[in-house]
Structure 1
């Protein structure tokens, strides 16, 4: 069993969480968790006070559960100027504080102070209002990681409109389906973005999507290429508007932007295994407060810190960066490029140049950098960098130690963070200054009544079980867009009054938590349930393997067996021996690690694995491609040819 570690560069007594405990007279994190569950009204009052939330009108009741835990009402009767909480008040009190720093793929940079961000967001809000955007209208954001994405989120917040944040890598079909489902009235896009030294066009895809969505009245284009945005074809049902021209010819709107606390803020679409994507709805007080609370307690993000996360605005961590980071008064770093271009040390250069204090990245990105060898190592990380963040998938032991020991020199904690779009943030996390175990979580974030149970809701008692949440919290989804039944079925239908998250989890004897992957990914072999992450960790532990994914496939004898797929960093090592010999060695290696009954049936070599742009490997697509089944929703996939590589591994006659 891994021994707990404590990063030497962080003292718990200096953290914002320690200050929260002291201010509110808690003796320990465990006591805080217990109070948050037993007395949620007291706890969330303490949280919004610690975050400095300013209310235009106070609530009459902080929590109303009259409609059950599925439909809680938070901050009942309250009204809030979320925009002012995010940017307006800092713009008045500390106008020159940097709000965001942006760096392009080619190294170009821009900086917005809070005052400059405030001015541009107010102008855009006025411009959108002039185009007819009103409270409750849906405005889709189809932009890369650029300043205009942040400005758009702030402008829609001022108006009380709902921002629909879309992945910048979507094609026209994916964009169109979401525009149609949300009934979007305006789409803001870039004409192009930069990636690996090339300009990637977006405008044609945006036009093709808008052509299929009659509710869209305007296409607002951030012109970044050499030619201005072209007008749409004659007879089109929408108008094309230039972003810079729009904000240049409107006055800056003054005054407050006050809305009810439960005003819809944002729709984020997530891809399900089957069926159409789910539009997850969040509110003005739910998502920002949960994001900022997590950043305070789990990440020790303080005002004037600098937060960078390698992500996209179409994934939850993009809006989480924006709404949570600004509510904390931090500086955001947006990187519009790939972190290993033009060289594998690009990420560390970004950290150094922008004085990043908190860096978020995925385990997959760490594995890719690790495979690049010494060239991916920084000469020396600046002392400003205090915290690594990680989310999206389970860790493997080797890459975790590479980041913690080799890159971070044992001084910077890795805040393992797991939750989801529907959570509005995290369920489990680590905490700076407190002991952590490699690849594990220190426990639930206060305010999340997490537990691990058997399928029928009984305590798992240290065994692998279902990750559940036994009480509501402000950041939870306010349902799915126009589909309440699907929301209830997805999370509330299995155990009465309990949120079943869909992850397999386990708590060890020291109280540290582990995630073993999605419960619908779990394999059952020789009568034992085993998470795919266990196979993947074993394979990545072999010196040949860079990445690995494991799936369960039908077996006439066992019922189910494991099939694994791996990529390698150095193909020259393969030349000395035929692949069948390597396959036997890798299968035996896994059998030694997990036990002979769990030895995989096959280990296939493939050139790439199907992943999202933020590095998450999509196991369901691997399994469906290998079995020759329909892939379902592939809209979040960055490299479609990876599925062709998997299909080529299928047995003859399958």
Structure 2
């Protein structure tokens, strides 16, 4: 039965409709000119498969500079607790900054910063070395030592990256908290990490106006006793800022006046580099711990090869905030370790207009763009006229991250943004994995719209069934990782039992973090989303991702979100929320007529069992400031429950509109 997942031994038939996605015209071989000069070659897979630990050890020696060379690679004697290169020493900030200056590359631009109001800054690697050194000296003067934790609550400005690198420079693990999180979320993370200093700003700019940040820090620290001794504040917007004498200090008073000379502190390869807390769950926050040597190795390797980076000529832009793992691995660390020139942008893609991203690409001649499917679908909704007004010919590689990308958005991204010439790397990884795990390789992979394709060289990932058997091609199951990898999480901060229970208990000796996947007839991997996002409708297990892709493939639909709602007859029923394209013919039709046509479209694309019980046309979907759709809030509305915590939404008012629409008669 199509959509059944996980599968039993009797459910291995290819899924109807999938062949349409995999027809010859939907396969894109690598451009010949890129293939001829790509960093990655097909023989990387055989080399890595022959001896994965040895392969990663060679990458660690080649891509990083070690103050004390390592002699041991992987130690897996106490699974699931791994160590990599444990007798070696290095410093992350030295690898990201100083060694490039020492190599004569101090004048190379490290960061082009674009503020939402239009202000700009350019930092060369020599500039960055001086700024990071000043910040490291200032943190030391504030009492931060090697091993102490620093909480970072900043907008997307250069000081965010500078602070992260300054922490790494003195061996103080940082805990970055996304600037859209509430005071309560910030407090719980400060408390769990036992942070000694909080680095924040008076505020940042968003949608054309200053948004305060410091008040959330004050509120968090007023909730109860903490280990925080100082709050270091960047003046970004100039707005009035409440002040606690003796605790609060201005960045310009202590960082700008500090010495720009500082010697990085060598740390063991397994020394904690950062804690990053996962969000969206109830209860105690889950602090994902990453260490230094293995993490930097895989972040650098994947950034260099997945994006085919040419640091001498490329301008790279990852649109993620440093409050998320993507901003850690592919803004703060991977690009800088590789000596790249990158763009950092503070604001939203539609300020002052919906062409802002494309104007930035044109201005800086961005050649590599890495962004999220939600952002791509929003740009689709706004229309092609916005990117068409700008010269995007500099783009040569496009990346997708954060959730499965539906094929129609993939095709639009490649055609409208990439000019049908830039390959797309659709990447799968997680906060816990630390770096990209499954992705095409430019110059090597023939890509397919919507497929993450195959594990990267050195990664042992598979799709298995309930009995831990690898499923045959054409079947679905659980996405797992069967061998340790360098950038893997080393645990949950302060809670080793929770680490084992959360990631290693479902399948003995195998890492499973909750994602489902399927293999097509070629063995390429397609992500189905979280296990929690799989619905059981009359005994049939259906992926929300596949139904969303079917909806978005209709010419009227710009974006869709699907959830399962309790149903007395079927157990669960499919409820869909859709945004129509502004110029769609359906926009002028009654809602029930639109719903009927879209339900029929899903039935044809997937099968009658997948037809939504209800389709609601909405003006917006509930999204976090990072662009992720919060489906749990949609489930609350669909099941007529009180809507849960919506404090991380970019605009909480959309929930009122959705709730009002769902109360209307069912289509």
Map 1:546-585 → 2, pairs under 5 A = 546-570=558-582, 576-585=588-597
Tell me by how many angstroms 1:343 deviates.
Answer: 2.2
Deviations 1:212-243, CA, capped at 9 Å, x for gaps: 352111111101233575422x7xxx611110
The equivalent of 1:439 in structure 2 is 450
Question: Secondary structure of 1:428's partner?
Answer: coil
Find out whether 1:543 has 2:555 as its counterpart.
yes
Aligned pair partner of 1:283 in 285, 291, 311: 291
Find out whether 1:203 has 2:211 as its counterpart.
no
The equivalent of 2:504 in structure 1 is 492
Contact kept in structure 2, 1:302 and 1:329, CA below 8 Å: no
Tell me by how many angstroms 1:171 deviates.
Answer: 2.1
Question: Secondary structure of 1:286's partner?
Answer: helix
Aligned residues: 637
Q: TM-score, normalised by structure 1?
A: 0.93
Contact kept in structure 2, 1:526 and 1:598, CA below 8 Å: no
* Rounded Cα–Cα distance in structure 2 between residues aligned with 1:226 and 1:552: 46
The equivalent of 1:222 in structure 2 is 234
Deviations 1:468-511, CA, capped at 9 Å, x for gaps: 00011110111111121221111100111000131111111123
- The answer to which of 125-134 and 452-461 deviates more is 452-461
Tell me by how many angstroms 1:601 deviates.
Answer: 0.8
* Rounded Cα–Cα distance in structure 2 between residues aligned with 1:264 and 1:283: 4
Tell me by how many angstroms 1:153 deviates.
Answer: 0.8
Structure 1 pair 273–192 and aligned structure 2 pair: CA distance change class (3 A)? closer
Contact kept in structure 2, 1:274 and 1:632, CA below 8 Å: no
Tell me by how many angstroms 1:573 deviates.
Answer: 5.2
The equivalent of 1:524 in structure 2 is 536
Tell me by how many angstroms 1:626 deviates.
Answer: 2.4
Question: Secondary structure of 1:420's partner?
Answer: coil
Tell me by how many angstroms 1:7 deviates.
Answer: 4.4
Contact kept in structure 2, 1:345 and 1:377, CA below 8 Å: yes
Question: Secondary structure of 2:574's partner?
Answer: strand
Tell me by how many angstroms 1:50 deviates.
Answer: 3.3
The equivalent of 1:306 in structure 2 is 315
Contact kept in structure 2, 1:229 and 1:242, CA below 8 Å: no
* Rounded Cα–Cα distance in structure 2 between residues aligned with 1:186 and 1:143: 13
* Rounded Cα–Cα distance in structure 1 between residues aligned with 2:590 and 2:260: 68
- Give the root-mean-square deviation of aligned CA atoms: 2.1
The equivalent of 2:40 in structure 1 is 17
The equivalent of 2:257 in structure 1 is 249
* Rounded Cα–Cα distance in structure 2 between residues aligned with 1:599 and 1:230: 54
Question: Secondary structure of 1:72's partner?
Answer: strand
Structure 1 pair 383–375 and aligned structure 2 pair: CA distance change class (3 A)? closer
- The answer to which of 404-413 and 4-13 deviates more is 4-13
Tell me by how many angstroms 1:322 deviates.
Answer: 1.2
Question: Secondary structure of 2:528's partner?
Answer: strand
* Rounded Cα–Cα distance in structure 2 between residues aligned with 1:633 and 1:136: 34
Tell me by how many angstroms 1:606 deviates.
Answer: 2.2
Contact kept in structure 2, 1:356 and 1:385, CA below 8 Å: yes
Tell me by how many angstroms 1:347 deviates.
Answer: 1.1
The equivalent of 1:103 in structure 2 is 114
Tell me by how many angstroms 1:355 deviates.
Answer: 2.5
Question: Secondary structure of 2:40's partner?
Answer: helix
Tell me by how many angstroms 1:653 deviates.
Answer: 12
Find out whether 1:459 has 2:470 as its counterpart.
yes
Q: Which runs of 5+ in 2 are unaligned?
A: 1-18
Tell me by how many angstroms 1:272 deviates.
Answer: 4.6
Aligned pair partner of 2:632 in 588, 599, 620: 620
- The answer to which of 183-192 and 286-295 deviates more is 286-295
* Rounded Cα–Cα distance in structure 2 between residues aligned with 1:343 and 1:575: 23
- The answer to which of 609-618 and 436-445 deviates more is 609-618
The equivalent of 1:318 in structure 2 is 327
Aligned pair partner of 1:127 in 129, 133, 138: 138
Map 1:470-485 → 2, pairs under 5 A = 470-485=482-497
Structure 1 pair 97–539 and aligned structure 2 pair: CA distance change class (3 A)? same
Find out whether 1:66 has 2:77 as its counterpart.
yes
Contact kept in structure 1, 2:362 and 2:390, CA below 8 Å: no
Find out whether 1:393 has 2:408 as its counterpart.
no
The equivalent of 1:21 in structure 2 is none
Aligned pair partner of 2:345 in 314, 331, 335: 335
* Rounded Cα–Cα distance in structure 2 between residues aligned with 1:609 and 1:225: 29
Deviations 1:248-280, CA, capped at 9 Å, x for gaps: 332233334211111111111112544333111
Tell me by how many angstroms 1:652 deviates.
Answer: 8.4
The equivalent of 2:4 in structure 1 is none
Question: Secondary structure of 2:549's partner?
Answer: helix
* Rounded Cα–Cα distance in structure 2 between residues aligned with 1:14 and 1:626: 51
Structure 1 pair 348–557 and aligned structure 2 pair: CA distance change class (3 A)? same
Structure 1 pair 272–488 and aligned structure 2 pair: CA distance change class (3 A)? farther
Contact kept in structure 2, 1:545 and 1:569, CA below 8 Å: yes
Structure 1 pair 379–258 and aligned structure 2 pair: CA distance change class (3 A)? same
The equivalent of 2:421 in structure 1 is 411
Tell me by how many angstroms 1:376 deviates.
Answer: 1.9
Tell me by how many angstroms 1:637 deviates.
Answer: 2.9
The one of the two structures with greater contact order (alpha-carbon pairs below 8 A, sep at least 6) is: 2
Structure 1 pair 275–647 and aligned structure 2 pair: CA distance change class (3 A)? farther
Tell me by how many angstroms 1:210 deviates.
Answer: 2.2
